[in-house]
Amino acid sequence: MARYTYRLRLSSSARRALLVEWDRCRWVWNQCVAQSRETHRHNRENPDDPRTCGPAQLDKLLTAWRAEHVWLRAGSSVVQQQVIRDFGASRAKALKDVRERVPQWRRAGMPRFKKRSLAEPTFNYTQRGFRLRDGVLHLAGGIAVRPVWSRDLPSVPSSVRVYRDSLGHWYCSFVVQTRVQPLPATGRVIGVDWGVKELATTTSDAHDLPHPQHGKNAAQGLARYQRMMARRRPTKGQPGSKGYQKARRQAAKIQKKVARRRQTPPASGPSGLSATMTRSPWRISGRSSWRNPRWHAKPRTPRSAPPSVS
């Protein structure tokens, strides 16, 4: 299984419909959080009469909520049920960390309320909640969006996630079944050593990969907007000015662009070359960073005794 992510081009009506749908989903999530806290409070005060707050109980509450509120019933039940599934998975992970006595700094934490100004919209649709027709993604609730098909899907997707990032860009991520197709063996071997100064050093000079320097190339523009942010930085507890928010968005766009370029694989060598990856002994479980020299074991030598004072 793999995820194929595409950029979305939204019309004004589709964007407005997604934001309205997100308000419904966020309300369902917050109701689940309130119900979970109420269950915890009840179990603490009445240990002889414990209650549960799993997806089964929340599904029954969702049915009652949709019958009570007309505006909630106007939304799609598929995405609202998936919100409950996501909440149940998050809550189960937090309780598991507590039972297993995971250190506090490693625990997932119980689900919290989602504020409208902080939480970014995220929708999960199962196979019965969307369909693809003529290159258009049709979501449950009559919402139609058009992905930018940068590559073809290898198979029929089983689910899709529609979300918005911190810059306001919308994406859709499909879960598809993929097949690993090994390249034909040629009998040729090459050794690759991943580094920091150079991206890859190989036993063949024709296949060395220099460092792309994405961060260094964007440093000048990033420093400009960071200086603008420093000059316009608001005092603690005060909202930022329009100039500060604009500089903040521009700096975030540059950082996002650098992150995308780093995700793009470098240009490969001639096709048909079967490479055997010979990892360096200093590599850490496949990471592209080097081990810090201060972590290496050092022989302990006894300290010299202080000179005796006669």
Is 274's pLDDT higher than 60?
no
Would you state the pLDDT for residue 238?
84
Is 288's pLDDT higher than 70?
no
Residues 101-108 have a mean pLDDT of 89
Would you state the pLDDT for residue 164?
92
Name 97's Cβ contacts closer than 8 Å, sequence gap at least 6. 106, 107, 108
Dist CA 137 CA 131 (whole Å): 6
What percent helix, strand, coil does the chain show, rounded to 5?
40, 15, 45
In contact, 164 and 170? CB cutoff 8 Å: yes
Would you state the pLDDT for residue 148?
93
Higher pLDDT, 196 or 3: 3
Mind listing the pLDDT tens digit for each residue in 43-55? 889 888 888 888 8
Mind listing the pLDDT tens digit for each residue in 211-267? 888 888 888 889 999 999 999 988 888 888 889 989 988 999 899 888 888 877 665
Is 34's pLDDT higher than 90?
yes
Roughly how many angstroms between the first and final C-alpha of the chain, as a whole number? 77
Residues of the chain with pLDDT > 70, as a percent, come to 85
Would you state the pLDDT for residue 197?
80
Structure tokens at 223: 């420093």
In contact, 223 and 251? CB cutoff 8 Å: no
Whether the full predicted model's pTM is greater than 0.85, yes or no, is: no
Would you state the pLDDT for residue 157?
92
